[in-house]
């Protein structure tokens, strides 16, 4: 092929993205108050964030963050196994483990980092990792980087997952799934997957980024809804950037599993530990998640109000009873046009396009928060009906 200049490669790649309506400029959020954000000097009602319980600016979290910074400083000063593991990290790990009935917890800087760490630490060449096709990118990337064979089953197809596990000849097996799927909002068939994993001697690993805090009693998440615990799901990941309103991720598991990850996972070993102040804020968030059940009740009421209103207006929502409400429009141009029309009406709803979703399934990913008011929901519905009717291409049935 000969030599190639990076400038030429980048220019060609950008031109190709532009031709597919796939450019992704970043917005600058100039200010935020609850679900209200300021973009280019204009206030918008945000319907694409993941602050499901409205805790991201709660005064208890802000105070805990400030006090933690006052006591421990801004950074952790080192990796966790050198000098970066502080008392706030240890307390947060203990709080989460006790809450959900696991032996140990391990706090990471992000869910993406945690999934890379888990896969690379526990899987090796000759092993197999079986995953739902709609799993989040970090689960897929983690498996690819581990050297294990990655097998992907059709979305929600438990029998296909069973067949893929049965086909392995040697090595260890992991069955990994999202608890709630981030782009579709539906829930994984966890009870059935747990039976499959047990029958095939596979380690079941659940990433409950969009379920924890939102679903189940006390917000215990997807596992609680499926009546599962540490015995059925030996390894559970709880990213804290959604319902908990902060940053980081908590890995829960047995002492043997968690210690192995902590001592061998390169993404954990070779990165500076999260700020102790953020761990303090997440401890405050956990208390609110557990005791303020009204937040979940209000959120679910808004979800049902939105779905009823969408049905009355003929808006073809995917079947989801979580705060993630996808409206699939098909091609990129239609999704971008609808997003732009909503912004003109005062609502921030991002257009989600490939590769985040499969080709031909560009969409509006509408997310609801306990901070929204009923009037916000009703206003969005009216704007959606106008935006979709004015889109340049028909909506697929």
Q: What is the pLDDT along the chain (397 residues), one digit of tens a residue?
A: 678 899 989 999 999 989 888 888 888 999 999 999 999 999 999 999 999 999 999 999 999 999 999 999 999 999 999 999 999 999 999 999 999 999 999 999 999 999 999 999 999 999 999 999 999 999 999 999 999 999 999 999 999 999 999 998 889 999 999 999 999 999 999 999 999 999 999 999 999 999 999 999 999 999 999 999 999 999 999 999 999 999 999 999 999 999 999 999 999 999 999 999 999 999 999 999 999 999 999 999 999 999 999 999 999 899 999 999 999 999 999 999 999 999 999 999 999 999 889 889 999 999 999 999 999 999 999 999 999 876 544 333 3
Q: Is 210 annotated as a binding residue?
A: yes
Check for a shared fold between 20-53+293-389 and 59-291: no
How far is Cα 226 from Cα 249, in angstroms, rounded to an integer? 22
Q: Cβ contacts of residue 36 below 8 Å, gap of 6+?
A: 43, 44, 45, 46
Q: Is 266 annotated as a binding residue?
A: no
Q: What is the CATH number of domain 20-53+293-389?
A: 3.90.1150.10
Q: In this structure, are strands 36-39 and 42-46 parallel, antiparallel, or unpaired?
A: antiparallel
> Is 169 buried (19+), middle (13-18) or exposed (0-12) by CB count in 10 A?
exposed
Q: Are 166 and 200 in contact (CB under 8 A)?
A: yes
SS3 of residue 87 by DSSP: helix
Q: Is 52 annotated as a binding residue?
A: no
Q: What is the CATH number of domain 59-291?
A: 3.40.640.10
How far is Cα 310 from Cα 209, in angstroms, rounded to an integer? 26
Q: Where do the H-state alpha helices sit in the chain?
A: 6-19, 59-72, 87-100, 111-122, 137-146, 158-166, 190-199, 222-225, 255-264, 266-269, 276-291, 293-312, 332-344, 374-389
Active site residues: 182, 210, 242
> Quick count: other Cβ atoms within 10 Å of Cβ 396?
12
Q: Is 168 annotated as a binding residue?
A: no
Domain ranges, ordered by start, for the chain: 20-53+293-389, 59-291
Q: Is 356 annotated as a binding residue?
A: yes
């Amino acid at each position: 092929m000969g030599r190639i200049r990076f400038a030429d490669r980048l220019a060609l790649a950008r031109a190709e993205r532009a031709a597919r309506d796939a450019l992704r400029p970043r917005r600058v959020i100039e200010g935020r108050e609850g679900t209200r954000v300021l973009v280019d000097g204009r206030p918008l009602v945000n319907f694409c964030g993941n602050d499901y319980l409205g805790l991201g600016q709660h005064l208890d979290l802000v105070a805990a963050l400030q006090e933690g910074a006052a006591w421990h400083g801004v950074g952790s000063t080192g990796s966790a196994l050198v000098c970066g593991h502080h008392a706030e990290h240890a307390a947060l790990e203990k709080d989460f483990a006790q809450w959900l009935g696991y032996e140990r917890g391990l706090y990471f800087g992000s869910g993406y980092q945690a999934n890379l760490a888990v896969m690379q630490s526990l899987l090796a060449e000759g092993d197999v990792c079986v995953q739902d096709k709609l799993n989040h990118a970090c689960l897929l990337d983690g498996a690819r980087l581990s050297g294990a064979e990655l097998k992907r089953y059709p979305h929600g197809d438990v029998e296909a997952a069973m067949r893929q596990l049965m086909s392995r000849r040697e090595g260890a097996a992991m069955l990994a799934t999202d608890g709630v799927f981030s782009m579709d909002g539906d829930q994984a068939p966890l009870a059935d997957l747990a039976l499959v994993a047990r029958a095939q001697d596979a380690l079941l690993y659940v990433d409950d980024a969009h379920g924890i805090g939102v679903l189940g009693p006390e917000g215990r998440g997807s596992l609680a809804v499926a009546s599962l615990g540490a015995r059925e799901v030996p390894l559970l990941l709880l990213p804290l950037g959604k319902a908990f309103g902060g940053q980081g991720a908590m890995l829960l598991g047995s002492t043997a599993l968690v210690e192995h990850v902590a001592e061998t996972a390169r993404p954990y070993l070779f990165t500076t530990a999260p700020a102790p102040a953020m761990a303090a804020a997440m401890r405050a968030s956990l208390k609110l998640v557990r005791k303020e059940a009204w937040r979940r009740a209000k959120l679910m009421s808004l979800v049902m109000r939105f779905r009823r209103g969408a049905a009355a207006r003929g808006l073809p929502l995917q079947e989801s009873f979580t705060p993630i409400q996808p409206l699939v429009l098909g091609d990129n141009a239609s999704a971008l046009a609808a997003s732009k029309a909503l912004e003109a009406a005062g609502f921030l709803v991002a257009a989600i396009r490939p590769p985040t979703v499969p080709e031909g399934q560009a969409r509006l990913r509408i997310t609801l928060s306990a901070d929204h008011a009923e009037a916000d929901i009703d206003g969005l519905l009216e704007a959606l009906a106008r935006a979709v009717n004015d889109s340049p291409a028909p909506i697929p049935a």
